[in-house]
Structure 1
Amino acid sequence: MSRPRLLAVLASALLLVGCATVPEESQPVAVQQQELGQIANPDVQQPPRDIDPLTVARDFVQASAQPVSNNAAARTYLDDAAAKAWQPGKVMNVIDDQFNTVYAVGSDLPANPTEVVVVVRGTNLGMLGADSSFIPSRTSYELRLLVRKQSDGQWRVTNPPANIVMPYSAFTANYVRVPVYFFAQDSNTIVPDLRYVAGKPQLGLPARVVSLLLSGPSDQLVGAVRSPLPEDANIEGNVTTTPDGALMVPLTGVGDQTPEVKKLIAAQIVLSLQAVTTNRVRLLSDGNALVDGHEDWLPSDVPSYTSLASPGADQPGLMVVNGRVRSLADGSAVPGSAGQGVYQVVSAAQSIDGRQLAIVENANGRQQLRIGAFGSAAQQVNLFGGTLTRPTWRPTATADGTAGEVWTVVDGSSVVRVLRTSDGGWTGQAVNAEEVLTVGPISVLRLSRDGARAALVVNGQLLVASVVRTQDAVTLRSPRILQTGTLSGVVDVDWLSQDSLVAATTMPSQPVVKVPIDGLRMDTFNSSNLTPPVYAITAAPGRPIVVADAGGLWTASDVGEVWRPHPHSLGAKVSPFYPG
């Protein structure tokens, strides 16, 4: 985004007036935090008098999470020169709440008795990038602060860091997680991009979200999604609340778009704003309604853009039991060869529309892939290996609505997408997975049902990567390890929603966990009734989670629920799966 455009967008935040609701589960990143800090000038409470240097350093870190008035709260812990000169960057470190402040020791300490060096030590959970997304990276963190006694006897920091550091709880208290929506590359399926905006001043939340939309997708999703907003789109004037209670978003630079694209732009803005406002959204283009005949919008006015990414209610899910595919609904064998024992099925995947089935079978001492219409014989694909991961379907993107792409990983090291050919056959093409393979061999790969991301299990760790498609190649890019150091022994994963995962692990204390796709937090499911280890898991939007352990299948719908026995687990080793 050009600087003039950026300034124009940010200016819209200055005069915004409106009602906003902050989600209870608020999670973070600052959007142009220095500029946003100029929005308000509240009375900032000064530090208590006569606090020691260790407390000064600790309180400075805590106060750094407050971006209001150009980080005014944190500046009160700086000496006059540092307070005036400090220009913190847009990247911020988030550390664990348990951190230490200790006096430095050694030969390089200041000789001046009015100066001490305080070392802040903790665990870095990740950072908030300049694109307002959270990037997980669990490492040790250390910051050395020079604290000097002032002429009035008060200790103050003289060398604030270039990048702000803040504890996790302070971060979640001051920033709000917002799913900002873009679209899949080759369909009109919406894709959430988790971003974080300063929660205060609350009146500016909608303007900050619009700013993110105009800036485009986060770095990780560049090339994996598209935005219908053209590059020269901007805000004309301010995002404001009108006298009749509508939140007005006055766009410019979009007037020459087709009516279809304008509807996509409307959906993108309205869905992204629903997390921060309950107002009607009035969308204007150069002073007129963006979409002819439809000036004001509520989320309920937006048609569904997730139908291709959601299994239908008539698809209850399947399971592999003793080499056969059966229904999760009633335990009966599915029609056709897959259910009759013709193949020795190891794993399988049903297309999202339920019309096709991909099968990995044991044959002649190796594993091979078969694909066919559900209920019919499956065609053998020229793809073999010592092991093939459970297949996963790319969402439907063909003109006739038939899914035509299946992914699997051969021998942990070769990611292959198998494409339908014009004559009805199937052919494999390699996926560039070099960035993922630097972490280790891949044991599980699940494409998101919107097709923009892939969740992977690599060396027992949980990763998320973007799926970037060009005319010549498909690449798994920007893999990020989620909950490094706290989540290990992962054996299976599935997509609970477009922006959250559930994983099965060998860890007795947390056999099943829920993790957002940016890895900022992790929630452990109730382990009651489970017999670890859990070895398989499946999930889908609006469906109960199903896991498999030594006792069979168990279901739950939320983290706090006790696992209930599935009525059709059949008392054998079972691998459940929902379409996708």
Structure 2
Amino acid sequence: MPTRGGPRRHARRAGEVLPALALSLALLAGTTSCSVIPTGGRSVMSVDDESKGSPLGDPYARVVAMPPKAGWSPEEVVTGFRAAMASLDDSDFRIARQYLAADFAAKWNPRSGVTVYRQGAYDKFAPIGAEDRQAQVTLKGTKIAVIDPDGRYRPSGGPLNQPFTLARQADGEWRISTAPDGLLLSEADVARGYPPVDLYFLDARREALVVDQVRVPIDPGANFAKTTVERLLRGPSSSLADAVRTAFTGIGLIDVTTENNRVVVDLDGRVAADLVDPMSAQLAATLSALTKGGWGFEVKVNGESYHPDAPLRVDAQKQSSFDPWLAPGAVDPYYLAGDGLRLLGKENTGQPVPGRAGQKRLGLDPPAISGQSARQVAQRSADRRSLSVAPLAAGGEWRVWATGESLAPPSWDRYGTLWAVDRPNDHTSVLTRYDGDGKRHYRVTAPDLETAYVKSLKVARDGVHVAVIVRDGLGEQVRVGTVVGERERTRITNLQTVVDSENGRKIKDITWNDGKTLYALTDRSELLEASVAAEPASLGTGSRIESIAALDGRLLAGSSDEQGGRQIFYWTSSKWEALVKHENGTADFVENGPSFPAFPLG
């Protein structure tokens, strides 16, 4: 409905840049500025440039916004304000505040977070009269995500109807008197100025690397490697703050440069001797994506060698030797057959595992394989009232570790702990960790899960991230949270939905690929890739897929046909291909066919 106080002309499309704004674009490579390119049009241009062999960051686009001009309409003022919020050069938002009325400019807080939106259009209003003192411009579109002040990116859909109230100043110019705190940025703004970065921290035992997916705003005055290390030294985002540690406590950064084909990280202090190895792994893991492989690292203190007698040089793949599960390499999968658990080895042939687990299976139910060198398998009984564990070693016998009313499939973590979930009814779940030989167990505190039905729980290989399939009044969703504490102090916090119950879909299975992404299988045999930092992406569908297992980019599935015949498939990035069809040439797939592939800690 037309309302009094709107802009004096019809709205332009929100994706258009008003000619009066005189936006410009520049390319930066590290701290070197290239030529300024006036856009003069409606969209930002992208220009390719060579990185000159430097691993410290590729060129990026820079939007430079101009202050407001005399005679601008309320719509033009709001559009100029939006452009100024996206400017990377104005780190204090000095230009952006020029679009605001004085009293509002003094209290506007641009650092309270970012709302990411997909542009629609401004609402249309009736003409503004010469005597009108107020106007309102409403930006319409779709809300995509929010970026917390610590860089945590959280997808968040829904319509955007953002009003801006403007007041006519004493000089007759319009200025914004009411607007939300924080920044309002389009998807293109965020893609240009807030690239995703994987920061790596340490688990509580300082033996694993845990990824923290954040968005880091580009600083035009520094190379992006320096900006990234500065963000690493600030510590983890709120979702991991209680669960991880860092080697950099009390340490600051002087600079990140290159020297003798190495990336040199110059700190203002030294960490404790026992933290040098973890510190090196954190740096290598965090910077490896930016250096694009091959570049080693050196750590200095105040421009001098880290050690008086020798430099501290870090291999480009230090993270892999520190935490083998970060890049596990060739790890063979397991699967069930009619005569027990098998290990899939060379030429895709399966061999029975040693011990009782390779001789007789408990039932047609997904197995869980531990990650230690002395591996164990856990599996539910056919009635789902008990969980049994057997060592994968000669003479290994099944032994009951857990009992309950209706147990979910088990999951191991990297510490040799078995996770069990009992569902005494459809709206209650009890989570328990079993240590050592299963005789010691501890209740897990998880308020958001204890009043829902947990269909499945999978701990990631970093021991900190956890994924669950939850059924509640909203349907079935996949949520990802954080494991904090050990033994009786264990709790699960910061649960975030990564796959919702869209169109009533149900989730059949989930599996972690690595510490930041997981796969979900729906009841329509649709394969989804999900994480806390992006909307789930559909990878495709398969015929009668019933279970999935993944490890570091390798994805397997178990399926059954209409006659009950079972096969194991592998994913080729676009479709499923048969991997194991039958055992010993028999066509008796119903009883003896392969099923339920499983990787260690899957």
1:565 to 554, 568, 578: 578
| In the alignment, structure 1 residue 499 sits paired with structure 2 residue 511 | no
The amino acid that maps onto 2:251 is: A
| In 2, Cα distance between equivalents of 1:83 and 1:345 | 65
Q: SS where residue 413 of structure 1 aligns?
A: strand
| In 2, Cα distance between equivalents of 1:389 and 1:360 | 10
Evaluate the alpha carbon distance shift between residue 226 and residue 301 of structure 1 in structure 2; reply closer, same or farther with a 3 A threshold: closer
Which residue of 1 is the match for residue 306 of structure 2? 290
2:448 to 419, 431, 435: 435
Q: Deviations over 1:94-150 (max 9, x none)?
A: 344154532589xxx999635321223444343222222223444554422014567
Aligned residues: 523
| In the alignment, structure 1 residue 481 sits paired with structure 2 residue 492 | no
Q: Deviations over 1:418-450 (max 9, x none)?
A: 1114xxx53332111213345x21111111111
Which residue of 2 is the match for residue 234 of structure 1? 252
| In 2, Cα distance between equivalents of 1:408 and 1:169 | 44
| In 2, Cα distance between equivalents of 1:486 and 1:96 | 21
Contact (CA 8 Å) 1:514, 1:522: kept in 2 or not? yes
Structure 2: stretches of 5+ with no match in the other structure: 1-29, 33-50, 584-588
How far has the Cα of 1:61 moved from its partner?
Answer: 4.1
Q: SS where residue 554 of structure 1 aligns?
A: strand
| In the alignment, structure 1 residue 519 sits paired with structure 2 residue 530 | no
| In 2, Cα distance between equivalents of 1:119 and 1:451 | 46
| In the alignment, structure 1 residue 455 sits paired with structure 2 residue 467 | yes
Which residue of 1 is the match for residue 197 of structure 2? 178
| In 1, Cα distance between equivalents of 2:62 and 2:194 | 18
- The 5-angstrom pairing of residues 137-536 of structure 1 reads 137-147=156-166, 157-201=176-220, 203-230=222-249, 232-235=250-253, 238-241=254-257, 247-254=263-270, 257-258=272-273, 260-277=274-291, 281-291=297-307, 293-297=310-314, 299-300=316-317, 304-308=321-325, 313=330, 315-321=331-337, 324-328=340-344, 329-341=348-360, 343-353=362-372, 355-362=374-381, 365-375=383-393, 376-396=395-415, 404-411=416-423, 413-421=429-437, 426-437=439-450, 440-459=452-471, 460-470=476-486, 472-484=488-500, 488-507=505-524, 511-516=526-531, 518-527=532-541, 530-531=542-543, 534-536=545-547
| In 2, Cα distance between equivalents of 1:347 and 1:100 | 50
The amino acid that maps onto 1:540 is: L
1:556 to 565, 568, 571: 571
Q: Deviations over 1:326-376 (max 9, x none)?
A: 34442454444333335335221111246333333335x443111121154
Worse-superposed segment, 188-197 or 73-82 = 73-82
| In 2, Cα distance between equivalents of 1:318 and 1:284 | 45
1:132 to 141, 148, 151: 151
Which residue of 2 is the match for residue 11 of structure 1? none
The amino acid that maps onto 1:371 is: V
| In 2, Cα distance between equivalents of 1:204 and 1:351 | 42
- The 5-angstrom pairing of residues 98-113 of structure 1 reads 98-103=119-124, 113=132
Evaluate the alpha carbon distance shift between residue 343 and residue 302 of structure 1 in structure 2; reply closer, same or farther with a 3 A threshold: closer
Q: SS where residue 216 of structure 2 aligns?
A: strand
How far has the Cα of 1:545 moved from its partner?
Answer: 4.0
Which residue of 1 is the match for residue 12 of structure 2? none
Percent of aligned positions that are identical: 20
Which residue of 2 is the match for residue 30 of structure 1? none
| In 1, Cα distance between equivalents of 2:268 and 2:388 | 51
Which residue of 1 is the match for residue 111 of structure 2? 90
| In 2, Cα distance between equivalents of 1:57 and 1:225 | 42
Evaluate the alpha carbon distance shift between residue 82 and residue 500 of structure 1 in structure 2; reply closer, same or farther with a 3 A threshold: farther
Which residue of 2 is the match for residue 69 of structure 1? 90
Q: SS where residue 299 of structure 1 aligns?
A: coil
Evaluate the alpha carbon distance shift between residue 76 and residue 405 of structure 1 in structure 2; reply closer, same or farther with a 3 A threshold: closer
Worse-superposed segment, 130-139 or 343-352 = 130-139
Q: SS where residue 220 of structure 1 aligns?
A: coil
How far has the Cα of 1:80 moved from its partner?
Answer: 6.5
2:550 to 539, 545, 564: 539
The amino acid that maps onto 2:413 is: R
Evaluate the alpha carbon distance shift between residue 60 and residue 384 of structure 1 in structure 2; reply closer, same or farther with a 3 A threshold: same
Contact (CA 8 Å) 1:537, 1:548: kept in 2 or not? no
Q: Deviations over 1:222-246 (max 9, x none)?
A: 232211223x2223xx315367675
Worse-superposed segment, 111-120 or 453-462 = 111-120
How far has the Cα of 1:166 moved from its partner?
Answer: 1.9
Q: SS where residue 137 of structure 2 aligns?
A: strand
Worse-superposed segment, 119-128 or 240-249 = 240-249
| In 2, Cα distance between equivalents of 1:118 and 1:304 | 56
**TM-score (norm: length of structure 2):** 0.75
Contact (CA 8 Å) 2:202, 2:210: kept in 1 or not? yes
Contact (CA 8 Å) 2:355, 2:391: kept in 1 or not? no
| In 1, Cα distance between equivalents of 2:70 and 2:502 | 39
Which residue of 2 is the match for residue 574 of structure 1? 595
How far has the Cα of 1:58 moved from its partner?
Answer: 5.6
The amino acid that maps onto 1:165 is: L
Evaluate the alpha carbon distance shift between residue 127 and residue 385 of structure 1 in structure 2; reply closer, same or farther with a 3 A threshold: same
| In 1, Cα distance between equivalents of 2:486 and 2:351 | 42
Evaluate the alpha carbon distance shift between residue 537 and residue 61 of structure 1 in structure 2; reply closer, same or farther with a 3 A threshold: farther
Contact (CA 8 Å) 1:22, 1:176: kept in 2 or not? no
Structure 1: stretches of 5+ with no match in the other structure: 1-14, 27-39, 397-403
How far has the Cα of 1:406 moved from its partner?
Answer: 0.9
Evaluate the alpha carbon distance shift between residue 546 and residue 50 of structure 1 in structure 2; reply closer, same or farther with a 3 A threshold: farther
Contact (CA 8 Å) 1:483, 1:519: kept in 2 or not? no
| In 1, Cα distance between equivalents of 2:502 and 2:149 | 26
Contact (CA 8 Å) 2:381, 2:388: kept in 1 or not? no
Q: Deviations over 1:245-276 (max 9, x none)?
A: 75543323426x21x32232222223322333
Contact (CA 8 Å) 1:420, 1:427: kept in 2 or not? yes
The amino acid that maps onto 2:148 is: G
Contact (CA 8 Å) 1:419, 1:428: kept in 2 or not? yes
Q: Which has the higher contact order (CA 8 A, sep 6+)?
A: 1
Q: Deviations over 1:163-204 (max 9, x none)?
A: 112233431232111111111222422111112112352733
CA RMSD of aligned residues (A): 3.9
How far has the Cα of 1:578 moved from its partner?
Answer: 0.9
| In 2, Cα distance between equivalents of 1:323 and 1:470 | 37
Contact (CA 8 Å) 2:141, 2:161: kept in 1 or not? yes
